[in-house]
Amino acid sequence: MRSYKKFNNPILIQPTREIPQWVGIIGAGTIGPDIGYYLKSAIPDLKLVLIDINQDALDKAVDRIWAYAEKGRNRGKLTDEQASNVQQDILASTDYQVLAYCDWVIEAASEDIDLKRKIFSDVEAIVRETTLITSNTSSIPAERLFSHLQFPQRATVSHFFAPAFRNPAVEIVSWEQVDGFVVEYLRWLFYVTDKMPMVTSDAVCFMLDRIFDNWCNEAAFLLDEATPEQIDYVSSSYVHAGPFFVLNLANGNPIIIETNSLQAEIEGDHYTPAEIFKSAGTWETIRPGEEVYVEPELAQNIRDRLLGILFSQSVDILDRNIGKAEDLDLGSRLAFAFKQGPLELMRELGETESTRILEKFSRTKPEMPMPRQPVSTYTKFRRFILLDELDGVKIITLRRPDALNAIHDEMNDEILDTIKQYEDDPDTTGFVISGYGIRAFSAGADIDKFPSMLGDKKQSMEYARSCSRLLSYLDTCRKPVVAALNGMALGGGLELAIRCHGIVAVKDAWMQFPEVTLGIAPGIGGLTVPYRRWPEASAVFHSMLIRADKLTVEKASEIGMINTLVDKHMNLIPAGVWLAKDLAVKQHKIRDEAVSIAPIMREVNAPLSAAGQRLSSEVIDIMCQAIDDAARAGTFSSALEIGYEAFADSACTAAAKEGINAFTQGQKPDFQKTG
């Protein structure tokens, strides 16, 4: 029997197949063409085959993909070439025979077990015996769909979430007869095509729909006591949109009837869908952000019941190994726009309050699952990093895809704790830090934290010092730490990368200090570390800092910042491991003595960024002074202090207020009005 090592970061998987060249999708409703568009935009040469029994539906599906491509082109998300690639090579047909060439067939027909089983038999009769076959079912166990096939080992569930071209979450079901290599290959394939694959067991409704469907069902049972508006409003403390608003959006009533009936059939009557779903049409409810008055006692009851079902389902998912804790929380955020995952909510409420909610829920629904262990054991896991091991080197992957891996306190501590945990482990040679996905190593420090400290110099300086706890630790870490840049490294993400003892990068990665465009100065080493490590390139760093110039990794490599450049994402972490082992025997200390740097050339009146955005002269003044002072400082630690202070000074300017508020509201800042 072939075996393989399991990795948490899918990029470490050695895929057993190539990227597919021909993919067939059966079902031209909504999700089928959406999946088609995702695949066409992620795989440039892909030939897409769309199959349906209805020619009209097929024509509409092709139009839909064309329209998405046009929209992408008009919004600048796709180049002309990319948009035309998406629009080419789509074959729409009512004849299954055209699936013969496909490397992968995805079924996205309606949730009808008999229909799906027939489709799979028909597909199997036409395609090669190695062709991958997956179903987009949200609820039906793979065992029921595929066990009649001649070659079931190549078939499983790959469950997308709406809209399938934008929503990164995809569940992959690991069921009894599927070949483990197929599951691993799908994890790898989804990763390299910019999705967030999550493996689940073959339980009915898998992992994420158990959370969502049962939450909606419980909301419907609550209608005896409250209105849809009241229920949506109360749940808005932890979701962006309440259950009834989402049910309207997704035309979800029939889906809940289907999925909960199946759950009831397989796991017991306590999952039976609320009767009202059969007669209800559209729910009268509020839009996200709107408010309604709810009596405090009723609000408490709604909250307890809805959290009760979420907690009950979450502990069950973990107790039965249906999915992983970190995927459950992340998946709930990505797939259903939860502001916080259920386990995060449990942790925040604490053991006593979560237990109270669960016990109260169990009095209303005695058959529902209850925790088999103390509540706190469910909430202890790394939320924002993945940990792997390759050849004696620990691989730390920053995973916060909803914020391009921006680093906040909790992620910072998870990295730091992991390094401390293994620093003295004789079997660990060093560490590689990389980012999850193909876009971002890290888009910087978490900007959402900034508004609370603006205007307060003391607090801002303390924040910068405290944020530096990981970076300062790296300065004295006894084992090498390598940054593996898988994409953009911005601001605080770049400050982390340059504090590591070596850097490897994939060739389309890039670096930038965008802080000046937010009206602030880099706070945790950006004003001093590059100059102390690569003083000959000081002019490059000046323009990065005061004009937000982007630096390609090719150029960074020329000035000595990058140890190794690789062509493909797959080769990145192995290159980082190799470097970590090489650096293990070398000194890595940032120079303590003053450095000589080039004079800073700057536009005093109306300064502009490299992208032509007007900048704040006041913030640039603060930065230039700090760069010079830090270069002259007699020790590295005093240079860092100068940087912390410059960040704090910038955080007290009107420009910072303008820049940070504009970012958090998704607008462009106007520094002209701040001077």
Interacting residue ranges for ligand COA, rule: CB under 6 A: 403-404, 406, 443-448, 490-492, 514-515, 518
CB-nearer residue toward ligand COA: 24 or 514: 514
State the DSSP H helix or E strand holding residue 303, giving kind and residue range, or none if neither.
helix 296-319
Q: Minimum distance from CB of 391 to ligand COA (Å)?
A: 32
Q: Minimum distance from CB of 99 to ligand COA (Å)?
A: 35
Q: Minimum distance from CB of 402 to ligand COA (Å)?
A: 6
Would you state the torsion angle of the CA atoms of residues 7, 338, 447, 641, taken in this order, to the nearest 10 degrees?
-60
CB-nearer residue toward ligand COA: 25 or 335: 335
Q: Minimum distance from CB of 348 to ligand COA (Å)?
A: 20
CB-nearer residue toward ligand COA: 23 or 518: 518
CB-nearer residue toward ligand COA: 256 or 518: 518
Q: Minimum distance from CB of 518 to ligand COA (Å)?
A: 5
Q: Minimum distance from CB of 616 to ligand COA (Å)?
A: 14
Spatial contact of 509 and 485, defined as CB atoms under 8 Å apart:
yes
Cβ neighbours for 377, distance < 8 A, ≥ 6 positions apart: none
Cβ neighbours for 417, distance < 8 A, ≥ 6 positions apart: none
Antiparallel, parallel or unpaired: β 47-51 and 90-93: parallel
Q: What is the largest CA-CA distance in the chain?
A: 77
CB-nearer residue toward ligand COA: 25 or 404: 404
CB-nearer residue toward ligand COA: 7 or 165: 165
AA identity, residue 561: M
CB-nearer residue toward ligand COA: 33 or 659: 659
Closest by CA position to 311, among listed 274, 349, 354, 348: 354
Q: Minimum distance from CB of 403 to ligand COA (Å)?
A: 4
Spatial contact of 497 and 526, defined as CB atoms under 8 Å apart:
no
Is residue 307 packed enough to be buried (19+ CB in 10 Å), middle (13-18) or exposed (0-12)? Answer: buried
Q: Minimum distance from CB of 238 to ligand COA (Å)?
A: 15
Angstrom distance (rounded) from CA 623 to CA 541:
12
Would you state the torsion angle of the CA atoms of residues 383, 389, 393, 395, taken in this order, to the nearest 10 degrees?
-30
CB-nearer residue toward ligand COA: 564 or 650: 650
Angstrom distance (rounded) from CA 599 to CA 541:
11
CB-nearer residue toward ligand COA: 27 or 72: 72
CA angle 65, 134, 385 (to 5 degrees): 85
The CA-atom distances, in angstroms, between 652 and each of 159, 440, 621 are: 48, 29, 14
Closest by CA position to 524, among listed 588, 479, 473: 473
Angstrom distance (rounded) from CA 211 to CA 208:
5
SS3 175: coil
Q: Minimum distance from CB of 73 to ligand COA (Å)?
A: 16
CB-nearer residue toward ligand COA: 53 or 611: 611
Spatial contact of 635 and 441, defined as CB atoms under 8 Å apart:
no
Angstrom distance (rounded) from CA 612 to CA 275:
59
Query: The tokens of 587 are what?
Result: 């000194």
Angstrom distance (rounded) from CA 440 to CA 491:
12
Q: Minimum distance from CB of 526 to ligand COA (Å)?
A: 9
CB-nearer residue toward ligand COA: 396 or 447: 447
Residues 239-253, buried b or exposed e (16+ Cβ, 10 A)? bebbbbbbbbeeebb
Query: The tokens of 669 are what?
Result: 């800042």
Query: The tokens of 208 are what?
Result: 């994420």
The CA-atom distances, in angstroms, between 156 and each of 23, 168, 422 are: 15, 19, 37
CB-nearer residue toward ligand COA: 174 or 650: 650
Q: Minimum distance from CB of 586 to ligand COA (Å)?
A: 30
- Using the structure block, give the residue that is written with the tokens 């110099």: 457
Name 511's bridge partners.
Answer: 489, 551
CB-nearer residue toward ligand COA: 377 or 667: 667
Which residue's beta carbon is nearest to the bound ligand COA? 491
Q: Minimum distance from CB of 513 to ligand COA (Å)?
A: 8
Q: Minimum distance from CB of 405 to ligand COA (Å)?
A: 9
